[in-house]
Amino acid sequence: MLRSIFGKGKKKGGKSTAQDDSIRAAKVGDVVSISGLRLEYDDLYFFIEKIDRYATDNETWYELLCVEGENQVWIDWSDGYELAITATDDPDPVGLGSIGTTEEELIQLDEEHSIDNYIEVEGEKYYYRNSAEVLFYQDNRGQGEGFYNWDLVQEDGEHVLSITKWEGKPFEATFSEVIAQDRIVLYKGDRGDAGKGRNR
């Protein structure tokens, strides 16, 4: 869900240090706490069950499925000029009709590629940030499966709308919240095979 949402698309050179304890260092089996997404989550510790990778020609990002009992949170992070993180506990997509846009409008956004353009959802403006063909690597493995993606950011900069189109499937729109990196704490855990997360 997280691509160039702050208008910065190039990856930062170099690698994270060995002492990195941010979300960048997360592995399956680790544990995270997240504050501010929902009040009831502030005191919970989520087990990282699954990590998927996404890539375009100039950017890579990761999606973590984090589980605590019946609670599930998806955290996306991308390390461009700065570490950018989004999270959601409601991954169920909605159709284009639910967000008041059309395929033709998305094509226009893609062709014009202008951050001045936006779509309006329930009175809130979501500004275009990027669109591109993406490869999805389930469990960070394999050859990758392609889809097309549009990213838009709410005017307040705190929420992201991602719209995806997989071959043979309808358009899907999902919403997530921008999370400051100091709202997530990573704890090293048992980095074994934690099983499967959601399927596509």
Model pLDDT for residues 125-148, shown as the tens digit of each residue: 999 999 999 999 999 999 999 999
Distance between CA atoms of 105 and 152, rounded to whole angstroms? 13
DSSP 8: -
Distance between CA atoms of 138 and 163, rounded to whole angstroms? 19
Task: Identify the pLDDT of residue 128.
Answer: 98
Residues 6+ apart with CB under 8 A from 43: none
Task: Identify the pLDDT of residue 190.
Answer: 77
Classify residue 196 as left (phi > 0), alpha (psi -120 to 50) or beta.
beta
Q: Encoding tokens for residue 90? A: 């409601």
Cβ–Cβ < 8 Å for 90, 182: no
Q: Tell me if the pTM is above 0.75.
A: yes
Distance between CA atoms of 120 and 96, rounded to whole angstroms? 12
- The predicted-structure confidence for 67-100, as pLDDT tens digits, reads as follows 999 999 999 999 877 899 999 998 889 999 999 9
Percent of all residues in the chain with a pLDDT value above 90, rounded to a whole number:
78
Residues 6+ apart with CB under 8 A from 160: 1, 2, 5, 86, 151, 152, 153, 154, 175, 176, 177, 178
Distance between CA atoms of 153 and 170, rounded to whole angstroms? 22
- The predicted-structure confidence for 100-118, as pLDDT tens digits, reads as follows 999 999 999 999 999 999 9
- The predicted-structure confidence for 151-187, as pLDDT tens digits, reads as follows 999 999 999 999 999 999 999 999 999 999 999 999 9
